[in-house]
Structure 1
Amino acid sequence: MSRIDETMEFIPVRIAVLTVSDTRVAEDDKSGEVLVSRLLAAGHELADRRILPDERAEIAEQLRAWCEDGAIDVVITTGGTGLTGRDVTVEAHRDVYEKEIDAFGTVFTMVSMNKIGTSAVQSRATGGVANGTYLFALPGSPGACRDAWDEILARQLDFRHRPCNFVEIMPRLDEHKRRK
């Protein structure tokens, strides 16, 4: 079963947080603050934090820039994963992904079902990998960010998590680009 192996050393990862919103500013970015407070409390490093409007090209451009930055291991976005016309974060993520982590959305839906019932079907949370960087798109509500962090990301971004985790395979994410 899933567990933390306390005999192993914790390895902090460098995480960038992007809030996608046409209306939020730093002072009222509750979802971004949930993510930042949790990642710092877990012992990770905040590599960068930004707020961008719901513009697909701008979001994808920022994701690509962070994926090119060797000082960033993980990008978490919040907002823009719903079904309305302005919700384009998932499309921007998919413009950048080399590989999608299909089960991330599935597991997030399972977690959400336990919290909000069938309303979980309205979320399009997603995860993927690009240029050796993990990317996760979460809904814009503080509750959804808490659920995703507490139930999925806190464990998968902890090297000590067993039987496996995202951190232990980080060095191999871009192995296909190396010379043989």
Structure 2
Amino acid sequence: MTDFHPLNIAVLTVSDTRTEDTDSSGRTLVDQLTAAGHQLAHKAIVKDDIYQIRAACSAWIAEVEVNAILITGGTGFAGRDSTPEAVTPLLDKEVTGFGELFRQVSYRDIGTSTIQSRALAGLANYTVIFCLPGSTNACKTGWQLIAEQLDARHKPCNFVALLQQKASPL
């Protein structure tokens, strides 16, 4: 049996209005990842601005110690929602199945409103990035899908071995 390997995970909340006191979605993700045995590498809140989102993600992607980034917020169609536009150019590969499965599972809770979710995931420099809607319930739903993929014991496959290939810069 494969052993559990705790990962270093960063959490980014994208919002023009949330603060640390009101960030229930970010707090939910932190609670979920630490309860699963992972370590919180960073937590930040940035405005819904393409360049602020990219700057935070780029810094964490470049850090050898960060294995995964969980982003909450900015995935809808409101005027300033720009997380997919900010993150997609940073990706080496998209994990298309994540958005598809997230919307399928969300359909049970929110019906056809799930078509307005632009949840996505991908890999950048051996860092997996998951972009979730900003609601606490969406983060709980997303974690149900993400948790097994960040656990080396999950078979037939998971992201852990790939994430551990992240090499130190010269």
Q: Post-superposition shift, 1:124?
A: 0.2
Please tell me whether the aligned partners of residues 67 and 133 of structure 1 are also in contact (alpha carbons under 8 angstroms): yes
CA contact (8 A) 2:19 2:45 kept: yes
Shift of 1:116: 1.3
> What SS does structure 2 have at the residue aligned with 1:28?
coil
C-alpha separation in 1, matches of 2:38 and 2:166: 20
Paired residue for 1:153, among 146, 152, 155? 146
Counterparts of 1:27-106 in structure 2, within 5 Å, are 27-106=21-100
Q: Which residue of 2 aligns with 1:164?
A: 157
Distance 2:99 2:19 in 1: 27
More deviation, 44-53/159-168: 159-168
Q: Which residues of structure 2 form unaligned runs of 5+? A: none
TM superposition outliers: structure 1 runs of 4+ over 6 Å: none
1:135 partnered with 2:141? no
* 2:4 paired with 1:15: no
Instruction: Give deviations 1:34-88, integer Å, cap 9, x for gaps.
Output: 1000000000000000000000011011111100001100001000000112000
Q: For 2:113 and 2:86, locate their aligned partners in 1 and report how far apart those are by CA, in whole Å.
A: 23
Matched-pair contact (CA < 8 Å) for 2:64–2:166: no
Q: What letter matches 1:163 in structure 2?
A: P
Please, what TM-score do these two structures have when normalized by structure 2?
0.95
Deviations 1:82-127 (A, max 9, x none): 0112000111111211111111100111110122111111100000
RMSD of aligned Cα (Å): 1.2
TM-superposed CA distance for 1:31, in Å, is: 0.2
Alpha-carbon offset, residue 157 of structure 1: 0.6
Structure of higher CA gyration radius:
1
Q: Distance in 2 between matches of 1:171 and 1:28?
A: 33
AA partner of residue 120 (structure 1): T
TM-score (norm 1): 0.89
Report the number of matched residues: 167
What is the rounded CA distance, in whole Å, between the counterparts of 1:72 and 1:47 in structure 2? 7
Q: 1:20 to 1:28 in 2, by over 3 A?
A: same
CA contact under 8 A between 1:60 and 1:95: conserved in structure 2?
no
